Amino acid sequence: MEKGIIGKSELAKLVEAMAADATCLGPVKDGQDTVLAELGPDTELSFDYANFRLPVKRLFFPQSEVTCVLRDGQLVALPPPDEKTVLFGVRPCDAQALPYLTKIFSDEKYEDPYYLKRRENAVIVSLACHTPCSTCFCTSLGGSPAGRAGCDILAFDLGHELLLEAETEKGKALLAAHEALFAAPTDAQVTAAAEQGAAAEASMAKIETDGITEKADQAFDAPLWEEIAARCVACGVCTYLCPTCHCFGFADEQVGNRTQRVKCQDACMFPLFTLEASGHNPRTTQGQRLRQRIMHKFSYTVKNVGEIFCVGCGRCVLYCPVNIDLREIIEEVRK
């Protein structure tokens, strides 16, 4: 089944049906915020949100997870969780980031089973944005508020009902499995969705990103990095909220009488990130660290896996405590 219409009032039935063999997560109001939370039989879905504060990558690449434990004197690998999930309400920017991350966590030589198993077990149902924020700039980076990259199903909020369009075999299978709950969409509904997407796209301010990789390479030694980083406080907000950032580290820990090796998210913005045991640190200034993060996203990943590692979700712009604005950096770099 490729497309289906479902009334918002019927969604609880769909969730109930899906919950039979998968954990369902969706947008739920939490005070002023909307979070991606597990859906119970009575959980009310929220449709009145811009995006989750935290990126969806955390479902596949959590802040911390145990990879090995010591058992009888030997380190053994813990298996990745094997639960099936359905993620509903993922914005297209977050979904677009997932294939980028897959390129990192799975290459010709090595695969990260923790990321890959989780991704394999998940069905991503994106929800197109009808009113992008003023800080969103997905369209400047090859994305769209109605973007289809990275999701299994793209849903449109048409007011009283949702239009679901399958993008992958997994998506088709999910729709087919619950066919009875869907109606065939009318032409008007399909058109309304397309128009909504187009209108949302048109409403967004665009920033120029042509040639950003070459410009970034040329700007490597420019004074702009130290100038901007003068106010950077070296926290991890931009990195941890970014849908595509993926640096990590390991730490061995003792929990009670269990010795475990934990894989944790990390950030190249932290001063200790590259600190060596000898005391030598190849990046001693915040300008060098800021530059590394930007260059990695706009130049190095482009050369290595063919993608700019930014989907224009705007979280770093919104949440940076000192108002460092990536859109301004891109503009500066392109000068």
Q: Which of residues 91-150 bind another protein (CB under 8 A)?
A: 104-105, 107, 109-114, 131, 133-135
Q: Is 73 exposed, middle or buried (0-12, 13-18, 19+ CB in 10 A)?
A: exposed
Q: Look up residue 309 and give its two tokens.
A: 């590692």
Cβ distance 115 to 105 under 8 Å? yes
Residue 327 binding another protein, by CB under 8 A: yes
Q: What SS3 state is found at 143? A: coil
Cβ distance 146 to 199 under 8 Å? no
Distances (CA, A) of 225 to 45, 139, 209, 216, 220: 42, 25, 18, 11, 8
Q: Which is nearer to another protein, 33 or 44 (CB)?
A: 33
Stretch that binds another protein, among 150-158, 171-179, 187-195, 320-328 (CB under 8 A): 320-328
Residue 168 binding another protein, by CB under 8 A: no
Q: How far apart are CA 312 and CA 308, in angstroms?
A: 10
Q: Look up residue 108 and give its two tokens.
A: 């010709």
CB of 145 to another protein, least distance (A): 14
Q: Which is nearer to another protein, 64 or 186 (CB)?
A: 64
Nearest to 90, CA basis, from 141, 137, 54: 54
Residue 241 binding another protein, by CB under 8 A: yes
User: How large is the C-alpha radius of gyration of the chain?
Assistant: 21
The correct pick among 164, 299, 310, 330 for binding another protein (CB under 8 A) is 299
Stretch that binds another protein, among 5-13, 15-23, 139-147, 321-329 (CB under 8 A): 321-329
Q: Which of residues 46-75 bind another protein (CB under 8 A)?
A: 50, 53-54, 62-65, 67-68, 70, 73-75
Q: Is 16 exposed, middle or buried (0-12, 13-18, 19+ CB in 10 A)?
A: middle
The correct pick among 76, 176, 184, 194 for binding another protein (CB under 8 A) is 76
Q: Look up residue 310 and give its two tokens.
A: 């930014």
Stretch that binds another protein, among 20-28, 92-100, 157-165, 275-283 (CB under 8 A): 275-283
The correct pick among 183, 198, 199, 233 for binding another protein (CB under 8 A) is 233
Percentages helix, strand, coil for the chain (3-state, rounded to 5) are: 35, 20, 40
Q: Which is nearer to another protein, 19 or 37 (CB)?
A: 37
Residue 218 binding another protein, by CB under 8 A: no
Q: Which of residues 243-272 bind another protein (CB under 8 A)?
A: 246-255, 259, 261-268, 270, 272
Residue 9 binding another protein, by CB under 8 A: no
Q: How far apart are CA 234 and CA 10, in angstroms?
A: 46
Q: Which is nearer to another protein, 186 or 304 (CB)?
A: 304
The correct pick among 273, 308, 312, 333 for binding another protein (CB under 8 A) is 273
Q: Which is nearer to another protein, 49 or 190 (CB)?
A: 49
